[in-house]
Structures are given as C-alpha cells and as structure tokens.
C-alpha cells in the first residue's frame, strides 16, 4: 500500500487537487498569512521565527504543568534512539519569549511588536478543525503593561478577520486577574469542588489538586454539567483593584474604537501563563468550543523562563480554522494571476527557442511555454486554460524573422513584436 501521512496532519495542496479542502489549500494558507502580515506590519510588527522544536522545559515552564498540552499532548523528539529532551512546539508564545530573553531583545526599543507564523504540534484526538500539526499566526508585544497595548492587540486581531472578509466573528473578553486574584479564586474553587471530588472526571480530580481553574476549561460534558449545577462564580468576581481598573480601560478603548466585543466571565484560556486580559475569537458556525483564535497578557512568562521581568501580551490564530470559517461564509480565495505570456512552438525544432525566450523573459514576468510542439488552435486553448494575458506561437517563419505575432486573449487583438522588444511589451 502507498505510504500515508501521519494521522491528524494535512498536506497543503496546490489548486485543483482532487482531495483539496479549504483548510488544506496552500493558496488559502498563503492568503491568510499574507493578509495577516499586511495588517500586522502596518501596525509596526516585525517578523521573527523560532525553531520548530524547543527544550521541553521551555514548554513545561512556559505553557504550564497543569495544562492538557503539557500533560498529554506533547510530541517528544528522539534522535538516534535517544530522548533529546526536546519537544515539537505546541504554540508560539513561550518560544518567542525564550528567544527574546536569549537574544537580548530587551535592548530594543519597547514595546517591541513581533509576529510569526508556522506549524504547531499537539497530540490531540483527531477531530474536525483539530489537528496534530496545525498552523498559527502569532502577534506578540513585549515590554509594556499599558492597557492601550491590550486594546490595540485585540483590535488588530479583529482587523485581520475583517480583512479576510469574515463577518460572523465575535470577541469574548475576560480577565483572569493577577496571580493573587487567581490564588483567591483557586481557593474558592477548591472549597467548592472538594466535596464533589468523586463526581469529577479523573483529569479534573487532578486539576483540583494542581490548578482548580483548569476544571472550568474541561472538555468533559460530565464536568461541565457539574459546573453548571454548582453555579460557580466567575473569575471576574475575584479581580483585585488594579486588574479591574486595567480591564475597564481596555474595554473603554474598544468601545471608543467601535471594536465589537462581549464580556464573557467564563474565559479562562487553556494556557497557564496568562494574566489579566484574556480573550477568544469565536465564529458563529464553528461551535463554542472551537475558537478561531485567542490571546492574553502574560506579564509573568519571561521571569518564569528565567529572564528579566518583562510584561507581554499576544494572540494566535489557527490558520486552518480561519480557512474553515471562510469556507462556511462562502468566501473565495482570490486566484493568483495567470501568466503574462504563453508561448508554444508549432514544430519540434523550435521548442528550444521558445523555452529560451520564455526563460529570459522570466527575469521580469510570469511566462510559461509548451514542452511539445502544438497547433495554434490547441496552443491558444491551452493559454486560455492557464488564464494567460497574451499568447504567441512560433513557427519557422517567426524563428527566421525574430518577430512574434502576440495575441491578447481577452480582446483577440494582435500585435507584431520583435523578440528583443517582448520584455518591454509585457511590462507596459
């Protein structure tokens, strides 16, 4: 049997592939990343990238030992039969902050705005919209605690989905407070859930010991029923004065700018490093549990990774999720332009000439040619199929005079163009 790709992964495919899906379209990925790049670079973000694997410690300390990601979703890297102490990165933030510390980026003017994109890896159960290798676009800002930076980050995330043409999207905004606030909240949750311990899923019993807030994020329906029955107070009720003031300012900016959002007291986010502002971007047709993206402030993360105290905030989109949402809204990824010129030889001996001319013209233009001799009718049909702007056929006559009859495919208009002038002709 022919070999298969690993479960839960996708090949990113060229247009027209028989098994093509919206989320596996290479052009779709390029489009989403290109649109995000435009929005983020116009806001002053610089591109950077980190390796696809990191020391396990970066992920354990960064993402947090009580998260599903660290407890059961990490891909460990073995080489030459040995456990290298590395894992494939499950997300982008902890690696960026690791790189920020290691490369002394603190010396750059703050706040430093960065963006990145690439594959992320989580050994999750295979489901629609949930893959073991998926792709994210990440935006991160380091070096500021200003709530204006939070509001700008959220507004940029919304700007990206708008620029993609998506409409059914909403921001669910929350705050998970400062560490002291979370301690008080966890103490409250511990008291509430301890008498119900036996009714919790095995995972959540574990969460009760390590980090009770995680229970609220549980994927188990049983847990969610119990949570609903207990009328659990939200984290927002436990915010300290400073975190509350910060949260109010963020909302004030968003309202002033007309960025639509709703406060959702249930936002807890699946990663341990968040602090204060946290949000998710949901799509009407993808389901409540499947966010398009999420983000939050992570002021404690740099110190957690052994670096100097550095506040930070960031977000990540799932590229596949965005493509699924676009498909559901009937949005079509624009086709790239076809060739400026399609050339074909009418007889075998002129094929090398056609190839040479095409390759020379490619210094400036998208030019394609036929590998075998073609009759003019077939050549123009092929040029149409490729959506070429111009087409020309080369026979012994054209080869001898060095002048091509170039046909504009849309209008049918023809012009005689010497080979030496073809580049200039295509440029105008």
Q: What is the binding site for ligand AMP (CB under 6 A)? A: 91, 122, 124, 129-131, 134, 136, 270, 291-294, 316-318, 320-321
Residue 100 or residue 317: which is nearer to ligand AMP going by CB?
317
Q: Is the dihedral of CA 289, 293, 299, 301 positive or negative?
A: positive
Question: What is the rounded CA–CA span in Å between residue 262 and residue 10?
Answer: 34
Residue 175 or residue 350: which is nearer to ligand AMP going by CB?
175
User: Least separation, in Å, of the C-beta of 358 and ligand AMP?
Assistant: 41
User: Least separation, in Å, of the C-beta of 67 and ligand AMP?
Assistant: 9
Residues in the chain: 428
The answer to whether 92 is a known ligand-binding residue is yes
The answer to whether 295 is a known ligand-binding residue is no
Which residue of the chain is nearest ligand AMP when measured via CB? 318
The answer to whether 273 is a known ligand-binding residue is yes
**Among all chains, which residue has been given the structure tokens 């996708």?**
10
The answer to whether 269 is a known ligand-binding residue is yes
Q: What is the dihedral of CA 309, 315, 318, 319, to 10 degrees?
A: -110
Residue 189 or residue 278: which is nearer to ligand AMP going by CB?
278
Q: How far is CA 198 from the centre of its chain?
A: 39
Residue 66 or residue 403: which is nearer to ligand AMP going by CB?
66
Determine the angle formed by the axes of helices 26-41 and 147-163, rounding to 10 degrees: 140
The answer to whether 136 is a known ligand-binding residue is yes
User: Least separation, in Å, of the C-beta of 318 and ligand AMP?
Assistant: 2
Q: What is the dihedral of CA 8, 13, 18, 20, to 10 degrees?
A: 60
Q: Please, are residues 137 and 228 in contact by the beta-carbon 8 Å criterion?
A: no
User: Least separation, in Å, of the C-beta of 213 and ligand AMP?
Assistant: 15
Exposure letters 337-365 (e unless 16+ CB within 10 A, then b) = ebbbbbbbbbeeebbebbeebbeebeeeb
Q: How far is CA 37 from the centre of its chain?
A: 10
Q: Give the ranges where 201-276 is alpha helix by DSSP (H).
A: 202-210, 221-230, 241-257
Q: Vertex 63, ends 230 and 133: CA angle to 5°?
A: 105
Residue 168 or residue 352: which is nearer to ligand AMP going by CB?
168
The answer to whether 67 is a known ligand-binding residue is no
User: Least separation, in Å, of the C-beta of 63 and ligand AMP?
Assistant: 9
Residue 97 or residue 292: which is nearer to ligand AMP going by CB?
292
Exposure letters 164-189 (e unless 16+ CB within 10 A, then b) = bebeebbbbbbbbbbeebbeebbebb
Binding residues for L-histidine, as ranges, are 91-93, 122, 136, 140, 269, 273-274
Residues annotated as binding site?
Answer: 91-93, 122, 136, 140, 269, 273-274
């Amino acid at each position: 049997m022919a070999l298969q790709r690993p479960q839960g992964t996708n090949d990113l495919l060229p247009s027209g592939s028989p098994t093509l899906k919206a989320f596996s379209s290479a052009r779709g990925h390029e489009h989403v990343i290109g649109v995000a790049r435009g929005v983020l670079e116009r806001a002053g973000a610089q591109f950077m990238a980190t390796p696809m694997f990191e020391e396990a410690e970066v992920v354990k300390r960064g993402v947090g030992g009580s998260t599903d990601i660290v407890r059961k979703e990490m891909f460990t890297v073995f080489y030459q039969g040995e456990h290298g102490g590395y894992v494939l990165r499950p997300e982008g933030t902890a690696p960026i902050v690791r790189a920020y510390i290691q490369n002394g980026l603190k010396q750059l003017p703050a706040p430093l705005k960065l963006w990145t994109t690439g594959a992320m890896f989580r050994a999750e159960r295979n489901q629609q919209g949930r893959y073991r290798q998926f792709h994210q676009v990440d935006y991160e800002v380091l070096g500021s605690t200003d709530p204006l930076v939070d509001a700008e980050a959220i507004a940029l995330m919304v700007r990206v989905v708008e620029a993609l043409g998506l409409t059914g999207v909403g921001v669910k905004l929350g705050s998970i407070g400062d560490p002291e606030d979370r301690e008080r909240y966890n103490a409250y949750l511990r008291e509430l859930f301890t008498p119900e311990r036996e009714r919790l899923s095995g995972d959540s019993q574990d969460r009760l010991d390590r980090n009770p807030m995680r229970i609220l994020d549980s994927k188990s329906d049983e847990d969610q029923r119990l949570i609903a029955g207990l009328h659990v107070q939200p984290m927002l009720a436990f915010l300290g004065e400073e975190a509350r003031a910060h949260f109010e300012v963020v909302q004030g900016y968003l309202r002033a700018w007309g960025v639509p959002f709703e406060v959702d007291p249930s936002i807890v986010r699946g990663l341990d490093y968040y602090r204060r502002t946290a949000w998710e971007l949901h799509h009407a047709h993808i389901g409540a549990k499947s966010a398009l993206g999420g983000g939050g402030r992570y002021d404690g993360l740099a110190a957690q990774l052994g670096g100097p105290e550095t506040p930070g905030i960031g977000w990540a989109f799932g590229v596949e999720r965005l493509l699924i949402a676009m498909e559901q809204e009937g949005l079509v990824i624009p086709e790239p332009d076809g060739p400026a010129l399609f050339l074909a030889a009418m007889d075998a001996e002129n094929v090398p000439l056609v190839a040479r001319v095409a390759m020379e013209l490619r210094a400036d233009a998208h030019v394609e040619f036929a590998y075998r001799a073609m009759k003019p009718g077939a050549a123009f049909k092929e040029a149409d199929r490729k959506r070429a702007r111009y087409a020309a056929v080369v026979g012994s006559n054209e080869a001898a005079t060095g002048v091509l009859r170039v046909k504009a495919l849309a209008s049918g208009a023809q012009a005689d163009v010497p080979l030496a002038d073809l580049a200039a002709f295509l440029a105008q």
